[in-house]
Structure 1
Amino acid sequence: MSEELERLAKALIEFREAEGISVTELAHRTQLSQATIRLHESDHERQPTSLVARCFEEVLGWAPGSIPTASRETTDLELPPDSSAGTG
């Protein structure tokens, strides 16, 4: 279990309790899904994507880059390496 990810889970729960808000409200504030909030509050092994980490850092008031992120992410906007987009 990663200490950093355990710290994140604890911080998210403590933040919600201190603010008196639900998972639904935290999801609204971060613009993330409730499932994402629940996942990172309970799973201390899964690193968030950089987008999720930025949302958590912002709401928690943590410095950018303070949450470890998944090493490789794929987005719908990425083109395959052999793509010939823009030619022709």
Structure 2
Amino acid sequence: MSCRKPVLLLIDGVSRQLVVEQAQCGHYVEPENPALLAQSIRDVLLKERSEERRKMGESGYRYAKEHFDRRLLAAKYLEALKGVVGRE
């Protein structure tokens, strides 16, 4: 995501929800289906889809920057710790 590249995700559940639905930066491919994976790779790499690839890559980058920045995560963690310590 931080490399501004679309993601082909073969993991269902929370990861799928994050990448495909929230970040809108990739496609879900059913696990253990090599033919579908190969077709998905070909589809994403089609020249006609270059704008879609660019948009997915940018969307993933923005999402990662907004949600996974180390400083942001550290600040949230520190606030959580302060909340726990303050309760004692």
* TM-score, normalised by the number of residues in structure 2: 0.30
Larger radius of gyration: 2
* TM-score, normalised by the number of residues in structure 1: 0.30
Structure number with higher relative contact order (C-alpha < 8 Å, ≥ 6 residues apart): 2
Higher helix share: 2
